[in-house]
Structure 1
């Protein structure tokens, strides 16, 4: 079944909004319920992995469930989505992500429009985002090659793990980074820190495209 571009864009916007709403909302809830950063991070991690499984399962058949400009970039370079559609996906993802942050604030009776003051910068953070996005794209490409039906679980589990093994807590998504800059909460990131995160994320995605693309394309041997 093929869905038209309007429905695909709606799915991308809705999925990214629900993803960011989950990340920001669960961060607010976890921070309110616990003064322990480790417990708060766990309370942020589990809902994020769970919602990714749900969103990819129900919206993947409509739009491919990218919810992430770095993922869309990879598919555009693989010529699996047209450039015009890819740009429209990017706009839908960013717009949906911003809406998700604003809705999360409204649900918790916080100022709807905010600017984050949470510092996330420096070489280790940028390396972490490169690694996080590399792993995400590798997971998607490997899943597509060997176990397409398992992709919702694979992505959800990967992000759940990456929250804990990366210094940045694995944004791995330019749209999410932009949206989280508009939330001065547990999940936030200063707007000034976003461009470096986005560059690191795109770099990790491109590295995965090159390396995993080569790894998963064996030569015929005689």
Structure 2
């Protein structure tokens, strides 16, 4: 029997903690990779592996509490597609927690490696081909999340979402941030994974465009009408 999800404050706390941990993994592994090798391929491999493993574990751990969105585009796409069941203030609570968590995670990673927290990133990422890559990366992520929901296989989310992100870090020109909250957090780290603050708005816009594209592709592939009792890949479930 399906139980009601935890109260909104607890779910928002789960999103804050999960997003903070995710960004700490992304930024921390980037800082570690910087220290171990100057070879870009080695650094990218280390960062992609750590990011994918960390994301998969966090989805498995926090998914039953909040759905493990950790990402405003996932929250917005889930809210829009299930808007007859959800409310706007829940989506806003999630997004606020994700943004705060991302900044906290980046600052935590910087502090763990003895670096002064709060240094702005200096890596510009505003070229048009990078924005195209970011839109593609985000569209794929949304398609994976929506697709798992529509085929009734939410249990595959830890492996499927993490696997997709690990692959997209390699096959997209942008490195697959695919997450406006993580993009903001990574502006607080002048490291391999950083993004200059001036590039953040364009990246976020590309991610939102990718979200719309991913939702459109999911509609083409799976249709636009959902089944009321269909399992939701990101819907929190209480465990006994």
**TM-score with structure 1 length normalisation?**
0.96
Distance 1:28 1:217, change over 3 A: same
| Separation in structure 1 between the aligned mates of residue 168 and residue 214 of structure 2, nearest angstrom | 16
Q: Secondary structure at the match of 1:110?
A: coil
Question: What does residue 24 of structure 1 align with?
Answer: 27
- Alignment RMSD, CA only? 1.2
Is 1:143 the counterpart of 2:148? The answer is: yes
Does the aligned pair in 2 maintain the 1:105–1:112 contact within 8 Å? yes
Please, which of 185, 193, 201 is the counterpart of residue 199 of structure 2? 193
Question: What does residue 103 of structure 1 align with?
Answer: 108
Please identify, of 141-150 and 54-63, the stretch whose mean Cα deviation from structure 2 is larger: 141-150
Is 1:37 the counterpart of 2:40? The answer is: yes
Please state how far the C-alpha of 1:215 moved relative to its aligned partner. Answer: 1.7
Please state how far the C-alpha of 1:106 moved relative to its aligned partner. Answer: 0.7
Q: Secondary structure at the match of 2:32?
A: helix
Q: Secondary structure at the match of 1:111?
A: coil
Please state how far the C-alpha of 1:158 moved relative to its aligned partner. Answer: 0.1
Which structure carries more relative contact order (alpha carbon 8 Å, separation 6+)?
2
| Separation in structure 1 between the aligned mates of residue 118 and residue 202 of structure 2, nearest angstrom | 23
In the alignment of these two chains, the number of paired residues is: 219
Is 1:216 the counterpart of 2:216? The answer is: no
- Cα deviation, 1:144-193, whole Å, max 9, x if unaligned, reads 12221101100000000000000110000000000001111111000000
Please, which of 202, 206, 209 is the counterpart of residue 212 of structure 2? 206
Please state how far the C-alpha of 1:213 moved relative to its aligned partner. Answer: 2.1
Please, which of 126, 133, 154 is the counterpart of residue 121 of structure 1? 126
| Separation in structure 2 between the aligned mates of residue 98 and residue 218 of structure 1, nearest angstrom | 35
**TM-score with structure 2 length normalisation?**
0.89
Q: Secondary structure at the match of 2:174?
A: coil
**Which consecutive aligned stretches of 4+ in structure 1 deviate over 6 angstroms post-superposition?**
none
What are the residue-to-residue correspondences of 1:34-113 with 2, within 5 Å? 34-78=37-81, 79=83, 80-113=85-118
Distance 1:144 1:113, change over 3 A: same
Does the aligned pair in 2 maintain the 1:17–1:100 contact within 8 Å? yes
Gaps of 5+ in 2: 226-240
| Separation in structure 1 between the aligned mates of residue 90 and residue 154 of structure 2, nearest angstrom | 23
Please state how far the C-alpha of 1:56 moved relative to its aligned partner. Answer: 0.6
Q: Which has the higher helix share?
A: 1
Please, which of 177, 184, 196 is the counterpart of residue 178 of structure 1? 184
Does the aligned pair in 2 maintain the 1:17–1:96 contact within 8 Å? yes
